[in-house]
């Protein structure tokens, strides 16, 4: 069996990065910027007032100084004249600072009578001018690749871009497999259960900016699986769930081979998630996940999410990890890298006592996975461990 790190390397080698498309700013949230965009202007384009008040010459500023107000500069309507010594211009936040002025006095720090202002002792404590290009100017750009945040989109708008080049969303076909499965809301027979994993994976994919598509549940026979693979045609990534292990009814590997799978690997030294398989199937990549619900969703975090990121042009790297302290001891691990469902408290992280890979209720209560290396000895309370935060 290969290690998790090697499985990830092999998965990244199977990824074909997707092309870019242009979208309006209003549809860019969460999308991945495909290439850097250059500022098309400076911001602010002129020295601008940071306050409502009076633009003056610093040389005139003193307690009790009296200045003549000769005009007004408002946002969108500057003042074209130049204040001389002893003169001031009424100014508002965001308005261009007139030539000759080099300070803005807050209106709270003056008294005004007619067109004359008198400065108080508080006047002149700060300049209150935003220099031209203080935010960005020619030569500045928004770097790529990045998942576009609300701040990124506002910055791109300020740089005068109405549309942005983003990577096309990967289309992902999800196939649940198993005679025992019915869709949520349907009436299960006595030996049946509800298909749940595919909905959790669908949610993970939505959060990753992919375009998931749930196909009809495939039954445990080669014909049904062949139909499912045909329905998946056109997808960039095909995800199967279940039927990946060694039982007589675990037919996904055989059916995928029949549909043209060029397999890269099957089985990874991890717990849960051992029977993971992957390869290329025509233009698509195939990721075959184990059927146990926790195994499928953990594989979604550990493998599917980095694959989607790589398809979107983001750096190929493993799921984000952090260091945490154990709030309770951890038993020794066996030969597979263990992803233990755990919860964070004030003293650190605690692995749940129940770790069976069928227990969705435990995964739902977990806020992180403790990653325990293969053959790791028992760890005492207080020891440092690596965790993968869950969202």
Q: Which residues contact ligand LQZAQKY5 (rule: CB under 6 A)?
A: 176, 178, 180-181, 193, 195-198, 241-247, 250, 272, 274-275, 290-293, 295, 357
Closer by beta carbon to ligand LQZAQKY5, 15 or else 270: 270
From CA 161, how far away is CA 165, in angstroms rounded?
Answer: 10
Contact 119, 101 (CB under 8 A): no
- The closest alpha carbon to 289, from 320, 319, 244, 325, belongs to 244
From CA 124, how far away is CA 106, in angstroms rounded?
Answer: 8
Q: Is 212 in the site for ligand MOO (CB under 6 A)?
A: no
Other C-beta atoms lying within 10 Å of the C-beta of residue 163:
15
Q: Is 301 in the site for ligand MOO (CB under 6 A)?
A: no
CB of 241 to ligand MOO, least distance (A): 12
Other C-beta atoms lying within 10 Å of the C-beta of residue 145:
18
Binding mask 348-367 for ligand MOO (x = CB under 6 A): ---------x----------
Q: Which stretch binds ligand MOO (CB under 6 A): 85-93, 232-240, 266-274, 344-352?
A: 266-274
Residues 315-326: b if buried by 16+ CB within 10 A, e if exposed: ebebbeeeebeb
Cα three-residue angle 358-360-363, rounded to 5 degrees: 115
Q: Is 274 in the site for ligand MOO (CB under 6 A)?
A: yes
Closer by beta carbon to ligand LQZAQKY5, 218 or else 259: 218
- The closest alpha carbon to 389, from 305, 306, 301, belongs to 301
Q: Is 31 in the site for ligand MOO (CB under 6 A)?
A: no
Closer by beta carbon to ligand MOO, 197 or else 292: 292
Contact 115, 58 (CB under 8 A): no
One of 44, 273, 293, 348 touching ligand MOO (CB under 6 A): 273
Q: Is 372 in the site for ligand MOO (CB under 6 A)?
A: no
One of 43, 49, 240, 292 touching ligand MOO (CB under 6 A): 292
CB of 275 to ligand LQZAQKY5, least distance (A): 5
């Amino acid at each position: 069996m290969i290690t998790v790190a090697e499985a990830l390397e092999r998965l990244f080698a199977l990824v074909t990065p997707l092309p870019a498309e242009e979208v309006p700013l209003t549809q860019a949230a969460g999308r991945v910027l495909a290439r850097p965009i250059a500022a098309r202007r400076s911001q602010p384009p002129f020295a601008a007032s940071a306050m409502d008040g009076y633009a003056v010459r610093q040389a005139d500023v003193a307690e009790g100084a009296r200045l003549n107000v000769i005009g007004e500069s408002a946002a969108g309507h500057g003042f074209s004249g130049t204040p001389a010594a002893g003169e001031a211009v009424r100014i508002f936040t965001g308005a261009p600072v007139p030539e000759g002025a080099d300070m803005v006095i807050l209106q709270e720090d003056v008294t005004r009578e007619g067109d004359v202002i008198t400065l108080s002792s508080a006047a002149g404590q700060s300049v209150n001018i935003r220099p031209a290009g203080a935010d960005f100017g020619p030569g500045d750009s928004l770097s790529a690749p990045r998942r576009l945040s609300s701040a990124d989109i506002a910055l791109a708008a300020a740089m005068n871009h109405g549309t942005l080049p983003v990577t096309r969303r990967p289309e992902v076909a999800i196939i649940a497999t198993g005679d025992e499965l019915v869709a949520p809301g349907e009436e299960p027979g006595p030996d049946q259960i509800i298909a749940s994993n595919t909905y959790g994976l669908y949610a993970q994919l939505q959060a990753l900016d992919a375009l998931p598509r749930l196909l009809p549940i495939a039954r445990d026979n080669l014909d049904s699986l062949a139909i499912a693979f045909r329905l998946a045609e056109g997808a960039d990534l095909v995800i199967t769930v279940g039927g990946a292990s060694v039982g007589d009814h675990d037919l996904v590997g055989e059916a995928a081979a029949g549909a043209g799978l060029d397999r890269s690997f099957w089985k990874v030294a991890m717990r849960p998630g051992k029977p993971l398989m992957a390869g290329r199937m025509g233009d698509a990549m195939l990721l075959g996940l184990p059927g146990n619900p926790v195994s499928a969703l953990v594989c979604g975090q550990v493998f599917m999410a980095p694959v989607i990121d790589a398809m979107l042009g983001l750096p190929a790297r493993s799921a984000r990890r952090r260091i945490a302290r154990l709030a309770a001891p951890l038993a020794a691990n066996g030969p597979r890298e263990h992803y233990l469902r755990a919860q964070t408290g004030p003293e650190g992280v605690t692995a749940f006592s129940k770790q069976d890979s069928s227990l969705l209720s435990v995964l739902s209560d977990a806020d992180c996975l403790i990653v325990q290396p293969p053959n790791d000895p028992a760890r005492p309370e207080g020891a440092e461990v690596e965790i993968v935060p869950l969202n």
